[in-house]
Amino acid sequence: MKSYLKAGAAALALALVCGPAIAADLSTTPTKKAPPAPAPVIEPFDPFLIRVKGVALVPDGKGKITSPTLNGTGITVGDSFIPELELSYFFTRNIAVEAICCLSRNDVKADGLGTVARTWVFPPTVLAQYHFTNFGAFQPYVGVGVNYTRFFDVDTKGALSGTSMHIDDSWGVAGQVGFDYMIDRHWGFNADVKRIYMQPSWHDGALHGNAHIDPWLIGAGITYRFGGPDTPSAVSSRY
């Protein structure tokens, strides 16, 4: 019995002596830190876009002669089919600014007189756009902006042949609805419809009036996006 008591007392004494040392040793043992959270993946996109398109320019308004001679005679501008170049820069995936450039040659007609002039039209337009990006390859957008139109090299014909017609420059609001369908990261197809409010005044000697052209521009063509990083990130974006 006494031997058991002595053994227990010895074990207790050993625990009292070694316990603090073991605890201190455990407290200094380095703990494994959790691995850092992975950095968020930002999918790259190409901020520059260029489109080459064919566009039907379809005037939708009608002006009139307001001078005493031929007062009230209607004035219209003929349709045309033109090439168009569009350049865009994306500030974000959704917000972009677009500049549009084209050149057209249009007939000016007067009711009862036929074609009375032919003019070159240069209508550069700048639009702010919002692009919807949650439909995969199909990427619709809307835009609104301002148009400046320059009319030049006016050639009078028919009843006004030999006279000197001048068509004033015009400023107006422009709007658009369209979409890109991307077949890969860079290439795609585009279609859109634009409306420009274009209402210049004109004069030709004693004659003068206004022309409410207000054209629709209905176009389709090819889209090319570029300018993004060449090296893919952890997760690359197709569009």
Structure tokens at 43: 């999918």
- Among 185, 173, 164, 183, CA closest to 232: 185
Domain that holds residue 128: 48-226
Q: Using only C-alpha atoms, what is the Rg of the chain?
A: 37
- 29 belongs to a structural domain: no
Distance CA 210, CA 70 (A): 13
**Total domain count, the chain:** 1
Q: Is the pLDDT of residue 237 over 50?
A: no
- 231 belongs to a structural domain: no
**Greater model confidence, 71 or 20:** 71
Tell me the one-letter amino acid at 17.
Answer: V
- 42 belongs to a structural domain: no
Q: CATH number for the domain including 72?
A: 2.40.160.20
- 28 belongs to a structural domain: no
Q: How does pLDDT run across 152-178, given as a tens digit for each residue?
A: 999 998 888 888 889 999 999 999 999
- 199 belongs to a structural domain: yes
Q: How does pLDDT run across 72-106, given as a tens digit for each residue?
A: 888 889 999 999 999 999 999 999 999 999 999 99
Q: What is the mean pLDDT of the chain?
A: 85
**Greater model confidence, 237 or 204:** 204
- 24 belongs to a structural domain: no
Contacts of 210 (CB under 8 A, 6+ apart): 63, 64, 66, 75, 199, 200, 201, 202
- 97 belongs to a structural domain: yes
CB 75 within 8 A of CB 65: yes
pLDDT reported for residue 187: 97
**Greater model confidence, 120 or 35:** 120
Q: Is the pLDDT of residue 192 over 70?
A: yes
The stretch 130-136 carries a mean pLDDT of: 95
**Range in 33-47, 80-94, 219-233 with the lowest mean pLDDT:** 33-47
What confidence category does residue 236 fall into, taking pLDDT thresholds of 50, 70 and 90? very low
pLDDT reported for residue 39: 63
Q: Is the pLDDT of residue 235 over 50?
A: no
- 1 belongs to a structural domain: no
